[in-house]
Amino acid sequence: MHIRISRDELYSGVGPIQAVVETKRSLPILSHLLLEASSNRLSVFGTDLDVGVRKRLDGEVLKEGSIALSARKLYEIIRELPAATVELNVDADLTATITCGKSEFRMKGLPRDDFPSMRESKEGGILLERRLFRDMIRRTVFAVSSDQTRYTLNGILFRVTQKDAKMVATDGHRLAITTHDGDLLKDRKPVEAIIPRKAATEALKLLKEEPGEVEIEAGENHLLLSSDNTLIDARLIEGQFPNYEQVIPTMATKQVTIDRDALLAGLRRTSTIIGERTIPTTMEFKPGQLLLSCVNLDLGEARERLDVEYQQEEMTVGFNARYILDFLSVVEAGQVTMHLQDALSPALFRAKDDKRYTCVIMPMRI
């Protein structure tokens, strides 16, 4: 194998992929990146067996071939190289020589046979606007459960039908659901997949925010995401996602409209008094006013007064403020609405006049 490639192009591939690779794995090959050169492309591939990522980079291939090199070391070397042409030459002994300007490195590699294989796209998948796909992840991933005993909740449900695409995540205390209306299937099979948290967060990092599309192909246990020169291969969570629709309240009789920034700042302030323990934040609704308060017996108390649009009877509900902050931090709207029934029923949070994104949050007893 022998290639010439610009340092910046190489860095754009090795940088993001080495971040996926786990260096502390017991299997040494998994701390490596597989480099493969063929037909003027260098492909860089890394995997932790749950998430695999491959990028195809432009370069001049003088001799085809492949080698697996330490991800961490390769990354550290390329990061320090000047913006010039890098030459990578692998001898029959699997020793790679990297030269760039007046610098030269020699590293021992491993053969490609030892490397796990990457799935390839078979029949092509559905197409979704990349920024929309990213937004759907951002709006749900925080609600993914960390409870290992509730395995099917450790990911985001991604469901595409004839009429819409949905992502849903819940940890039993709150649920986030976002919907995109429109037929994405166009003769493809419907998708129903639970994407693990790591795959979802890696996709957020790897898929650029720029306009463009992502192609999504769901296999039996795997999801392939491809976009530009990047292919992500995510092992899916097997099992049945719970029936979430029954959790979404339909009886909410009270509605409040609140300035998003004011609620965010107010909750951040009252939350400063919360220590390590989970203490409820009390929301006291009065006509035209919302009083936030938080009492920590060890530290003290915090109060905040907000002007809100509310004209119904007074009511008091307690929440885990962090759940509301998570919702507010991914909403861009200037105003948000809360739909409430009583102090024990789940509350529904939305951006004002937008039913495509909903957070359901269970109250806390106060």
Question: Whose CA is closest to 230, among 19, 43, 11?
Answer: 43
User: Which of 36, 217, 233, 304 is close enough to bind a copy of itself by CB under 8 A?
Assistant: 304
Per-position x/- string for 56-75, each x denoting binding to a copy of itself as judged by CB under 8 A, each - no binding: --------------x--x--
User: Cβ closer to a copy of itself: 103 or 161?
Assistant: 103
Shortest approach of a copy of itself to residue 100 CB, angstroms?
Answer: 9
Shortest approach of a copy of itself to residue 275 CB, angstroms?
Answer: 8
Shortest approach of a copy of itself to residue 270 CB, angstroms?
Answer: 8
User: Cβ closer to a copy of itself: 132 or 291?
Assistant: 291
* CA-CA-CA-CA torsion sign (217, 170, 211, 183): positive
Per-position x/- string for 103-142, each x denoting binding to a copy of itself as judged by CB under 8 A, each - no binding: xxxxxx----------------------------------
User: Cβ closer to a copy of itself: 153 or 302?
Assistant: 302
User: Cβ closer to a copy of itself: 98 or 336?
Assistant: 98
Count residues binding a copy of itself (CB under 8 A).
Answer: 31
Return d(Cα 195, Cα 193) in angstroms, integer. Answer: 6
User: Cβ closer to a copy of itself: 95 or 257?
Assistant: 95
Return d(Cα 47, Cα 21) in angstroms, integer. Answer: 6
The reply on whether position 306 binds a copy of itself by CB under 8 A is: yes
Question: Which parts of 77-106 interact with a copy of itself (CB under 8 A)?
Answer: 77, 79-82, 95, 102-106
**Is-contact 57 10, C-beta < 8 A?**
yes
Per-position x/- string for 164-203, each x denoting binding to a copy of itself as judged by CB under 8 A, each - no binding: ----------------------------------------
The reply on whether position 326 binds a copy of itself by CB under 8 A is: no
Question: Which parts of 242-281 interact with a copy of itself (CB under 8 A)?
Answer: 265-266, 268-270, 272-273
Question: Whose CA is closest to 129, among 204, 210, 43, 59?
Answer: 210
Question: Whose CA is closest to 124, among 175, 67, 72, 187?
Answer: 187
User: Cβ closer to a copy of itself: 320 or 358?
Assistant: 320
Stretches 16-24, 211-219, 249-257, 298-306: which one binds a copy of itself (CB under 8 A)? 298-306
Shortest approach of a copy of itself to residue 85 CB, angstroms?
Answer: 16
83: tokens are 């913006």
Task: Tally Cβ neighbours within 10 Å of residue 359.
Answer: 27
User: Cβ closer to a copy of itself: 268 or 286?
Assistant: 268
Can you give the binding site for a copy of itself, defined by CB under 8 A?
Answer: 70, 73, 76-77, 79-82, 95, 102-108, 265-266, 268-270, 272-273, 299-306
